[in-house]
Amino acid sequence: MAGEVDAVVVGAGFGGMYMLYKLREAGFSVQGFEAGDGVGGTWYWNRYPGARCDVPSLFYSYTWSEELQKEWRWTEKYAAQPEILTYANHVADRFDLRPMIAFETRVLSAHFDEAADRWRVTTDRGDELMARFVVMATGCLSTPRKPPIPGVDDFAGPTYHTGAWPHEGVDFTGQRVAVIGTGSSGIQSIPQIARQADHVTVFQRTANYSVPANNTPLTDKDIEDFWKMYPGYIAMIKGPGLGFGGNPANALAATPEERRQRFEEFWGVGGAGFLAAWGGIITDLDLNTEAADFVREKIGETVKDPDTAEALKPYDHPIGTKRICVDIDYFETYNRPNVTLVNLKETPIEAIEAHAVRTSDATYEADALVFATGFDAMTGTLLAIDIRGAGGATLKHAWAEGPKAYLGLAVAGLPNLFIVTGPGSPSVLSNMINSIEQHVEWIVDCLGYMREHGFTRIAADAQTQEEWVAHVRRVADKTLFPRAASWYMGANIPGKPRVFMPYIGSGYRKKCADVAAAGYEGFELAKEPADVHAA
């Protein structure tokens, strides 16, 4: 493919699909590229057993088409991956998005041609396309990573990564399976694998907090109730933007019994909403410790073997500072006779061998190996593309000390390039679908504004970007988040700069809207390559 379009959109997950739709509706010519052979992004790749949404599905749906909302019927409170992928495919068909997407095509580079104010985009299929704008809808968790364990590639049997699961599924019947990793993906898949396999050995480095999903089928009444509160929900998500944190005053004014009572109530409801039992869990260490103690107690009540229960209790980070997990029968699974927990804090992995995982004190034989070891989050996928902006400046260089993006939407030095839910925006600490919609709408409005006013170039101002990045850090520093070695901090990748990447302050949407209303304040706009002026 060659030629020119107004915009290239990279990725056909929920961000890319809506971006394509909105750009087409606004009259822009657009080409999408997608590495997979279908739409759905994270729900296309993460097909491991037990993969399931951890946001209630009624709220994990696009809101931009009320007809779509009304005609789609989720079957469970937390839909499983196949149902979410079916939804993504339904959207692609209903809105005729597929003709705009080149599937099984990976974007390799995007170089900005300053003389033409256009990007030259190349792919692994030899495409070379010119585009005024590039939108990276590449997802926050889309580069799976295997840890650099000695012998990691020496295993003789099949190996799998939860983030790149075979489409045909895996039958573990009769097998001894080793699972490395106990984040959300491990916690969701381990119970399912244990039901099928002969034996499962779980290699846990960091114990994790997990709340039962208490998943249920969705009833007509649930749907009716949803529609009753829908206008309020829409008003909330279109409002100024909620922050992540909250004020612990109410909790601290309550008695310990009242606090506990509320923890029980929220535990009973289930899901990540447990962290909202009291405002301030994520900012006040004492309150956080009470919540963490409560979960540790629940683990102790559930897991029968006291040593295993103790090993499963997280002590090394405040609750919520790593993504809280939502499970179905996770802790119960350790009561099965075919499941063994290996605590890597006591006996670290020394090597992976052809037929086993060897720790400092034992060798665990395995027929299959599952890596539930996460992703190079938020930056990995973008940095894998050779992105060069004005003056040949590379994204790699710009982000050498950690990701910097104004509002998480644009990077100084990379004109006319936008990121959907990039670092410095609420992204992974918000409902992703809501945040995607907000970014897509902001970007399309911006392109519309430029077209209307004859601008051909927009770039984030470097100083304004620095101030935003500092603000993002200051807000995070007021919370307990930086105390965890989390992927939010880049801590899961050796050598990755430790920067808290999502924005957790309030008023984010209002800030974006104000920036736009002021003629894209903090951005530089130009009509000709030479005519750059601050907005």
**Chain residues in the site for ligand NAP (CB under 6 A):** 52-54, 141, 147, 149, 162, 180-186, 188, 203, 205-206, 323, 344, 349, 372-375, 428, 487, 492
- Rounded to whole angstroms, the Cα distance separating 196 from 186 reads 15
Query: Can you read off the two tokens belonging to residue 375?
Result: 């992703």
Closest distance between ligand NAP and the C-beta of residue 424, in Å? 17
- Cβ distance to ligand NAP smaller for residue 179 or 458: 179
- Rounded to whole angstroms, the Cα distance separating 271 from 60 reads 14
418: left (phi over 0), alpha (psi -120 to 50) or beta: beta
Q: Which of 423, 346, 336 is nearest to 140 (CA)?
A: 423
- Rounded to whole angstroms, the Cα distance separating 131 from 151 reads 43
Query: Can you read off the two tokens belonging to residue 109?
Result: 């580079």
- Cβ distance to ligand NAP smaller for residue 144 or 413: 144
Closest distance between ligand NAP and the C-beta of residue 144, in Å? 8
- Cβ distance to ligand NAP smaller for residue 147 or 279: 147
- Cβ distance to ligand NAP smaller for residue 442 or 487: 487
- Cβ distance to ligand NAP smaller for residue 33 or 60: 60
Q: Which of 142, 140, 144, 147 is nearest to 180 (CA)?
A: 147
Q: Report the alpha-carbon angle 62-68-72, nearest 5.
A: 95
Torsion of CA 421, 426, 432, 436, to 10 degrees: -40
Closest distance between ligand NAP and the C-beta of residue 377, in Å? 7
Query: Can you read off the two tokens belonging to residue 371?
Result: 């890596």
Closest distance between ligand NAP and the C-beta of residue 362, in Å? 15
Closest distance between ligand NAP and the C-beta of residue 246, in Å? 20
Closest distance between ligand NAP and the C-beta of residue 198, in Å? 23
Q: Which of 179, 159, 174, 140 is nearest to 50 (CA)?
A: 179
- Cβ distance to ligand NAP smaller for residue 17 or 357: 357
For the sheet containing 523-526, what is the strand order? Answer: 457-460, 523-526, 532-534
Closest distance between ligand NAP and the C-beta of residue 232, in Å? 24
Closest distance between ligand NAP and the C-beta of residue 11, in Å? 16
- Cβ distance to ligand NAP smaller for residue 149 or 440: 149
Query: Can you read off the two tokens belonging to residue 135?
Result: 């939108």
Q: Report the alpha-carbon angle 255-259-265, nearest 5.
A: 145
For ligand NAP, the nearest residue by Cβ is 183
- Cβ distance to ligand NAP smaller for residue 54 or 293: 54
Q: What is the biggest distance separating any 2 CA atoms in the chain, rounded to whole angstroms?
A: 71
Closest distance between ligand NAP and the C-beta of residue 180, in Å? 5
Q: What are residue 43's phi and psi, to 5 degrees?
A: -85, -10
- Cβ distance to ligand NAP smaller for residue 32 or 41: 41
- Cβ distance to ligand NAP smaller for residue 252 or 269: 269
Amino acid 355 reads H
Q: How far is CA 72 from CA 4, 60, 134, in A?
A: 36, 12, 31
- Cβ distance to ligand NAP smaller for residue 322 or 404: 322
- Rounded to whole angstroms, the Cα distance separating 312 from 304 reads 12
User: Do 55 and 122 contact (CB within 8 A), yes or no?
Assistant: no
- Rounded to whole angstroms, the Cα distance separating 424 from 435 reads 12
- Cβ distance to ligand NAP smaller for residue 185 or 288: 185
Closest distance between ligand NAP and the C-beta of residue 488, in Å? 8
Tokens 């919370």 -> residue? 479
- Cβ distance to ligand NAP smaller for residue 211 or 446: 211
Query: Can you read off the two tokens belonging to residue 295?
Result: 């979960």
Closest distance between ligand NAP and the C-beta of residue 27, in Å? 35
Closest distance between ligand NAP and the C-beta of residue 111, in Å? 31
3-state secondary structure of 63: coil
Q: Which of 137, 102, 116, 103 is nearest to 2 (CA)?
A: 102
Closest distance between ligand NAP and the C-beta of residue 20, in Å? 24
Q: Which of 489, 502, 375 is nearest to 428 (CA)?
A: 502
Q: What's the Rg (C-alpha) of the chain?
A: 23
Q: Which of 426, 422, 497 is nearest to 136 (CA)?
A: 422
